[in-house]
Amino acid sequence: MREVQPVIARSSESVLATNKLIRNTYTLLSMTLLFSALTAGISMVMQLPMMVYMISFGGSILLLWLVLPRTANSAAGIGVVFAITGLMGLGLGPVLNVYAGLPNGPQIIATAMGGTGTIFLALSGYALTTRRDFSFMGGFLFAGLIIALVAILANIFLNIPALSLAISAVVIFIMAGFILFDTSRMIHGGIDNYILATVSLYLSIYNIFIHLLHLLGALGGDD
């Protein structure tokens, strides 16, 4: 029994740590999504130009690559996360104004929001409930992401509408896979930093929303 008790204690501590990680991640994720929605709303009201989308996106990428890795293990990392998501929300405003100007624009935006929320809750809930290990998907997802990025860059020059729609569909599937992958990593010890986990999930949600908007807008006749 003296040998079993420490094992049980470690197992209990591991479960508590995992639950704390999940709780902190979803709390911070909820707050950043609300903050991002706020900055997007401000951007829409101010009628900021489309150029703001590129500037905000570039700024958030710099923070993501250069600043977040240095601050992820400190309280400063929380501020960096809000800066990243706030900038991405600010840049989203001009995009939403374009769709809002369509005849059925408000319905498209609402459908994209509802679809994004449904995808995230369903997939993350499935991973949390079943506790299946989806770590095997990592290599396929990263390879698919690289291919999608190359296709996006190529289509900037090719400007093929059908390819653009296909890319959006593929990106949605890839990001859905990342939701399973990242949630699984939290459960099985692949990640132990709730700040990094929050950013990973936020980026998946953001990209699903953007590409759902594109698909729904095309089906609704904006192309």
Q: What is the pLDDT of residue 11?
A: 65
The 3 state secondary structure assigned to 101-168 is CCCCHHHHHHHHHHHHHHHHHHHHHHHHHHCCCCHHHHHHHHHHHHHHHHHHHHHHHHCCHHHHHHHH
Please tell me the total count of domains within the chain.
Answer: 1
User: In terms of pTM, does the model score above 0.75?
Assistant: yes
According to DSSP, residue 74 is labeled S
* Domain assignment of residue 22, given as a range: 4-219
- For the chain, the average pLDDT equals 91
State pLDDT tens for residues 58-87. Answer: 999 999 999 999 999 999 999 999 999 999
Compute the distance between CA of residue 126 and CA of residue 115 in angstroms, rounded to an integer. Answer: 16
- pLDDT given at position 221: 54
Note the Cα 50 to chain centre separation in Å.
Answer: 21
pLDDT confidence tier of residue 222, bands split at 50, 70 and 90 = very low
pLDDT band at 91 (very low <50, low <70, confident <90, very high): very high
Q: For the chain, what is the largest distance between any 2 Cα atoms, rounded to a whole number of angstroms?
A: 71
Q: For 151-169, what is each residue's pLDDT tens digit?
A: 999 998 988 889 999 999 9
